[in-house]
A and B are shown apart, each in its own frame.
Chain A
Amino acid sequence: MKLSENMNQVPVGPFHPLLEEAEYFNLTVEGETVVDIDLDIGWMHRGHEFISEQKTFTQSIFLVERICGICSTSHPLACVHAIEDVDNIEIPERAAYIRTLVGELERIHSHLLWLGLAGHFIGYDTLWMWAWKYREPVLQMFEIISGNRNHYGVMRVGGVSRDIDLDRVKELHKILDTVDAKIKMIAAAAPDDPVLKSRLVGVGVLTNQDAIDMCAVGPTSRASGVPWDVRKDEPTDAYGLVDFDVIVLQNGDVWDKLVVRLLETLESTKICRQCLDKLKTVKGPILNNVKEISAGEGIGRYEAPRGEVFHYVRTDGSNRAIRHKIRAPSYVNIPTYSASCKGIPIADALITLAAVDPCYCCTERALRVKGEDPDAIDFVKLSREKTERIRREIHGH
């Protein structure tokens, strides 16, 4: 994009002050308003697809778990769905419940994590500490189920690798009750919070048409009124057997995304409770012995906390894939920035990016206020007057 005279570029990254991964944003601003946004990614590229094609199927499940730390159930789950899709392999009922349980627990922990970070990005650290405090019991549940806080290693082709015995189920039930109470508390408190409301309502709107055009998925699109959820559209595992609702809201702003996520968390606890109940009664094996995978193609997907995870596996009858394509949900959600960030003030852009912490040093260095916008002109006048005043004070005339 060609820069006109009163436009400026604000580079953000690749390492910005606080957290998360390195990424590079180039925001073009006019006055305080963002007119264009350009991304440079690839700082995290490790070549999973390439490595996965050198490994056997079981090894590749271990590998895809390490794509993302937050979605570390969704990727293996989508991967085993893809491999199972080649031969239409069935899994035992008990395994289905365990898979669903782990997947939904992950959604709870991921949404709470996002809520905390969103609070942190708008400078509301109380919410951050709160949400992350109540996320801890969920990690404790994971430790009970799989022995690790993150990266669970539960999924296998044809089932799951670990069973949950009855004592543990009871223990999990107890923890789930406490988590549920706390989430209900947050879900009741957050929507009434004046701080959150004033910062988030009407900010960064992604319209329904843009969401469809850019093929957005998950809560990002569901907050814009696109009602698709893989769990309902293609019910794999136990999703066909449990009862839950898909949350869809219409406005498409950051606030709606927050509400979608909060309500989804409550739905998830509902699903988890049903799964735990079923685990008490449904007995049987947890793993079908799969001897070989024939040549063919398979598509597997799963509704991760951020949207649809997509895996495509092409096999030639050996014990490894000849092509393994992985598409994470953020890959299609990130380009929507170009629609949702345009025309809003830079301070709001950064919560719309939501994963980016505003770097005020660079922001203020590059900002130059100028333009037709009435507020902006006001601002310019004020700042000029101030400069003049200071100059007079310094020089004494």
Chain B
Amino acid sequence: MGWYNKRLAKSIWVFHVSASPCNNCDIEILDLLTPKYDVERLGIKLVGSVRHADVLLVSGVINQKVAPMVKKIYEQAPKPIFVMGVGTCPSGGCCFNDSYNIVENREDVIPFDIYVPGCPPKPEAMIAGAAKLMEVLNG
């Protein structure tokens, strides 16, 4: 896969999966596209369909109702696909661990490759996360 991954790292296309977040991580992801951060200069592009995606940005603690959908999205994605957890929610559950409606083990639903903690992480942190992913892909 080394050859393929290197090509992938040149231009990551991301698809955004919001799995019961508080919306703020989503907003910050969108913020990345707007003039101040403008990640398109790094080849990162938000796409409308999971079939075009190389990386899934998952935000939020995954709740029980949305979990099958998230799983389905992961299955529909063309492989290889990398999953980035954005925010404290996917990394540690934030303050929602006591809830009755969230899945117990998020890694069972969708296997995360990289986490960007922060509530919400700054756009700079997300860019740093993407850069780290690119580094790994480049070998």
Q: Are chains A and B touching directly in their complex (CB below 8 angstroms)?
A: yes
Residues of A in contact with B (beta carbons under 8 Å apart): 14-15, 17-22, 42-47, 50-51, 54, 59, 62-63, 66-70, 72, 113, 116, 128-129, 132-133, 136, 149-151
* Residues A17 and B20 in contact, CB atoms below 8 Å apart: no
Distance, CA A50 to CA B99, complexed state (A): 7
Known A-B contacts A14-B69, A17-B48, A150-B28; A43 and B98 likewise in contact (beta carbons under 8 Å) = no
* Inter-chain contacts of A50 with B (CB < 8 A): 98-100
Q: Is the interface of A mostly helix, strand, loop or mixed?
A: loop
Stretch at the interface among B4-12, B60-68, B130-138: B60-68
B1 in the interface, Cβ–Cβ < 8 Å? Answer: no
* Residues B94 and A15 in contact, CB atoms below 8 Å apart: no
Distance, CA A169 to CA B60, complexed state (A): 35
Distance, CA A54 to CA B69, complexed state (A): 30
Residue contacts A-B, CB under 8 angstroms, 15 given: A18-B46, A18-B48, A21-B23, A21-B26, A43-B63, A44-B20, A44-B66, A45-B63, A47-B96, A47-B99, A50-B99, A51-B95, A66-B94, A69-B27, A132-B35
B119 in the interface, Cβ–Cβ < 8 Å? Answer: yes
* Residues A15 and B96 in contact, CB atoms below 8 Å apart: no
Known A-B contacts A46-B96, A51-B96, A151-B119; A15 and B27 likewise in contact (beta carbons under 8 Å) = no
Distance, CA A69 to CA B119, complexed state (A): 10
Question: Smallest CB–CB gap between B77 and chain A, Å?
Answer: 12
Q: Kindly identify which residue among A22, A70, A133 contacts B24, using a CB–CB cutoff of 8 Å.
A: A70
* Residues B25 and A19 in contact, CB atoms below 8 Å apart: no
Closest to B95 in A: A63
Residues of B in contact with A (beta carbons under 8 Å apart): 16-28, 30-31, 34-36, 46, 48-50, 60-61, 63, 65-66, 69, 73, 94-96, 98-102, 119-120, 122
* Residues B63 and A44 in contact, CB atoms below 8 Å apart: yes
* Inter-chain contacts of A151 with B (CB < 8 A): 24, 119-120
Known A-B contacts A54-B98, A66-B95; A45 and B65 likewise in contact (beta carbons under 8 Å) = yes
Closest to B31 in A: A132
* Residues B18 and A21 in contact, CB atoms below 8 Å apart: yes
* Residues A46 and B26 in contact, CB atoms below 8 Å apart: no
Given A22-B19, A136-B36, 17 extra CB contacts under 8 A: A15-B69, A22-B18, A42-B65, A43-B66, A44-B60, A44-B66, A45-B20, A45-B65, A46-B101, A46-B102, A59-B95, A66-B24, A66-B119, A69-B120, A133-B35, A151-B24, A151-B119
Question: Smallest CB–CB gap between A47 and chain B, Å?
Answer: 4
Distance, CA A21 to CA B96, complexed state (A): 18
* Inter-chain contacts of A113 with B (CB < 8 A): 27
Distance, CA A46 to CA B103, complexed state (A): 10
Q: Kindly identify which residue among A43, A45, A63, A129 contacts B34, using a CB–CB cutoff of 8 Å.
A: A129
* Residues A68 and B95 in contact, CB atoms below 8 Å apart: no
Q: Kindly identify which residue among B24, B49, B101 contacts A17, using a CB–CB cutoff of 8 Å.
A: B49
* Inter-chain contacts of A72 with B (CB < 8 A): 22, 24
* Inter-chain contacts of B27 with A (CB < 8 A): 69-70, 113, 150
Question: Smallest CB–CB gap between B21 and chain A, Å?
Answer: 8
* Residues A19 and B26 in contact, CB atoms below 8 Å apart: yes
* Residues B73 and A62 in contact, CB atoms below 8 Å apart: no
Distance, CA A19 to CA B22, complexed state (A): 13
Q: Kindly identify which residue among B63, B73, B120 contacts A46, using a CB–CB cutoff of 8 Å.
A: B63
Question: Smallest CB–CB gap between B8 and chain A, Å?
Answer: 22
Question: Smallest CB–CB gap between B104 and chain A, Å?
Answer: 14
Distance, CA A113 to CA B122, complexed state (A): 17
Distance, CA A132 to CA B123, complexed state (A): 14
Closest 10 CB pairs of A and B: A69-B24, A17-B48, A69-B23, A132-B34, A47-B99, A133-B35, A44-B20, A43-B66, A66-B22, A150-B24
* Inter-chain contacts of A47 with B (CB < 8 A): 96, 99-102
* Residues B98 and A46 in contact, CB atoms below 8 Å apart: no
Distance, CA A21 to CA B24, complexed state (A): 11
Distance, CA A51 to CA B99, complexed state (A): 6
Known A-B contacts A14-B69, A42-B65, A132-B35; A69 and B26 likewise in contact (beta carbons under 8 Å) = yes
